[in-house]
Homo-oligomer: A and B are copies of this chain.
């Protein structure tokens, strides 16, 4: 049976990308060798890494603008620490929009003063705080552009003169922004970029080298930049598959094109959540994420039936995170609008038979 994969991450990737990745695990480009048995220093892999980093910068419109694209390991969780190691000299400001922001603050506190500039904890993080004061003496301001668990997303970036750092794990490459506003933009690969195991860090050269501490080599963005993401053995399969996926996105027309598709999917999904009396949206309307739609049943009496119907329709990964409950439809780049339609149809049928 065809599955409709709404998993929050790791998540759906284009079928063609998964097919090409599988073929490369058998044999890479008629080389007589598998992708996963070649040296990362081989010309074949060096060119894969070059292509992956170039595509990342090109798609974000950052080529030739003083940025590096690094492919590292450890996901966003590792970057919570690395960002502070590389940039936090005295004081950093964090906008707290949920679980991941909270974790990011926890790690940064080990290295300097962390100021929580805003928080939506008062409403279980169902909105994005706006218009909060941003002191001009911060080393940086850290935000989380999309909050996977709560289904909220910044629609506009905070205006500030301090370096802007973002965890964009769950919405990178999904929509147009002026990416040159970021000093550092990082993302675990496993949503819109590729399989779990690689982490993209986009870093503006000029923000590095300013802290007085000695940075451990593996946490030092400058070392990884100087070594072109080859300071240590990179996660070959995850980088290759990310490269394929970025190539897929470029061939599709880039972020501007995928953004329209994502807008259409979100409109279809939220339209049904708002229309259908059996369901309530969780996130504040103006802050709704185009990636993760969170919603609950108005009456739990329909729970068993809804979930059985969803299963029968081949819907995968729609259970909400325990922090929110209910349901979450993650609609990443590779999810076809047809899958959203199947979910919407199940919601309609549930209503009709209620």
Contacts and interface: CB of A to CB of B under 8 A. Distances in A.
Contacts of A73: 73-75, 78, 197, 235
A182 B337 CA distance: 53
Contact of A22 (B8, B25, B80, B236): B25
Interface stretch (A37-45, A121-129, A273-281): A37-45
Interface in A295-349: 314, 316-317
Interface stretch (A53-61, A212-220, A248-256): A212-220
A5 B103 CA distance: 43
Contacts of A7: 37-39
A260 interface: no
Contacts of A80: 217-218
Interface in A26-53: 26, 31-34, 36-40
The CB with the most chain B CB atoms within 10 A, among A8, A36, A74, A188, is that of A36
A13 interface: yes
Interface of A: 1-3, 5, 7-13, 18-19, 21-23, 25-26, 31-34, 36-40, 73-78, 80-81, 103, 106-107, 110, 188, 190, 195-198, 214, 216-219, 231-238, 241, 314, 316-317
